[in-house]
Amino acid sequence: MKQVTFIQSAADNLEAIQVLMQTHESSEPIRIAIAFWGAGVEELFEDCQSRKFEIICNLTAGGTNPKVIRFLRSMSNISIVQLKTLHAKVLIADGSALISSANASTNGLALEGATASTWQEAGVVVPWKAVPRSQFIAWFNELWALSQPIEKADLEHAELLWSQRERQFEGSEGSSKKSDELTEALTIFRTFGFKGRAPMIQVYIRSAAALLALGGCNGEIMPATPFKFLFSGGTTRAFKHHENKFVEGDGGVRLKTEFVGHFVGSDGRVSSCPSKGRFKSLSDDVVCEVASWMVGRGALPHEIEGEVIEGRFFLR
C-alpha cells in the first residue's frame, strides 16, 4: 500500500485488519492497542498463530469481555497487558498501520456478517511512506511501559464490570447497537448490615465492594438507589456519613475526583488504595468475591460477619 487509504465502514475495517495481519512477515510482533474487546475476534487470531502479537487493552472501564482476554492470554504467541487510560484503536504491522474508531468486537468489525447491527466506523490505513514507522513504534512502546500485567483479580474485576454492563444495557455486545441505552429491568442486589456497632473492617469491605460491584472506582456514574443500598448495608446512614465524597444527579451518584482511591484503589484493588492501612489484612480476593456476590454471582465469603439483606431496584 503506497498511500493513505480511507476506511469507510466496519466491514472495510475488518478487511484492513485481516490484510495487515495475513501479510505481516516480519519476526517482530504485530502491535495492537485497542481499548475494548468483544466476542468474535478470536477467529482473527486462530489463523495467525505463526505470528507474534503484543496487545494493550483496557480492562477497567467495563467495555471489554473478559472471556476474550482469557482466550488471548492462552495463546503462546500473544503477549497482552492492560492500560486503564487506553481509548485508542491502532494496529501496527509490517507495511502500515491502521488507525480507526472501531473496537475489536462484533459491532465494531462487522464480524460474522452482522452488518445490520454494526456501528458506523471510519479510519485510515497509513503506510510508512506517509508517517515513519518509528513514530508509531515509539508511541506504542511508551504505552506498553505504562501498562500493567493482567492478573487473576483483574479478570475477576472485569467479569463483574461486564456482568453489570449486561444487566444495565439493552442486549450484549453484538446483539444490538442500542447497547448504550439503559434498560428498565428490575434487578436484585445483595448486601450485609449489622444490628449493633458494625466492625469497621467489615464496613470497609462493604464500601469497597459496592464501588467495585457497580463500576464506580474511577468516578464513573452508578445508579444511585442500588449504590446507596449496597454501600450502607440497606440503610442510608453510612452514605450520609460520606456524602461529601460523592456527587449526585439525574438518578446517579459518583465519587468526586479527589476521593477516587479513598475506598478502593482506582483499579479495583485494595492493595493499590492510598488508604489501604484502614483495611489491615483485607485481601483483594475478598473484595472481588463480595462485589460479585452483591450483583448475584458467587457465594458470600466466610470472612463476612453481617446479616444478609436483599433489595430490588430499577436501573435507570
What is the tens place of the pLDDT at every residue in 37-66? 988 888 889 888 899 999 999 987 778 889
More confident residue, 181 or 264: 264
Mean pLDDT of the chain: 83
User: Nine-digit cell at 260?
Assistant: 477516587
CA distances, 29 to each of 9, 25, 42, 92, 113 (Å): 26, 10, 17, 9, 28
Q: Which residues pair with 125 in a beta bridge?
A: 5, 98
Tens of pLDDT, residues 294-304: 988 888 888 88
- Give the model's pLDDT for residue 38: 85
The domains found in the chain, sorted by start residue, are 5-151 (3.30.870.10), 184-314 (no CATH)
CA distance 254 to 257: 9
Burial 195-208 (b: 16+ CB within 10 A, else e): eeebeeebbbbbbb
- Give the model's pLDDT for residue 73: 94
- Give the model's pLDDT for residue 114: 46
CA distances, 220 to each of 44, 204, 253, 255, 286 (Å): 32, 20, 8, 7, 22
- 182 pLDDT band, cuts 50/70/90, is very low
- Give the model's pLDDT for residue 282: 67
Q: Which residues pair with 218 in a beta bridge?
A: none
| Ramachandran angles phi, psi of 312, nearest 5° | -120, 130
- Give the model's pLDDT for residue 138: 97
- Give the model's pLDDT for residue 236: 78
Q: In 10 A of CB 74, how many CB atoms?
A: 8
pLDDT at 185 over 70: no
Of 62-71, 84-93, 169-178, 214-223, the one with minimum mean pLDDT is 169-178
Tens of pLDDT, residues 230-261: 999 988 788 888 999 999 986 689 999 999 98
pLDDT at 91 over 90: yes
pLDDT at 9 over 80: yes
CA distance 106 to 112: 7
- 272 pLDDT band, cuts 50/70/90, is confident
pLDDT at 164 over 80: no
Of 59-68, 169-178, 219-228, the one with minimum mean pLDDT is 169-178
Tens of pLDDT, residues 103-150: 887 666 755 444 444 678 899 999 988 899 999 999 999 999 999 999
Tell me the mean pLDDT in the region 169-176. Answer: 42
- Give the model's pLDDT for residue 177: 40
- Give the model's pLDDT for residue 196: 77
CA distances, 278 to each of 12, 54, 270, 282 (Å): 52, 38, 10, 9
- 285 pLDDT band, cuts 50/70/90, is confident
- First-to-final CA distance of the chain: 48
- Give the model's pLDDT for residue 174: 41
Tell me the mean pLDDT in the region 181-187. Answer: 42
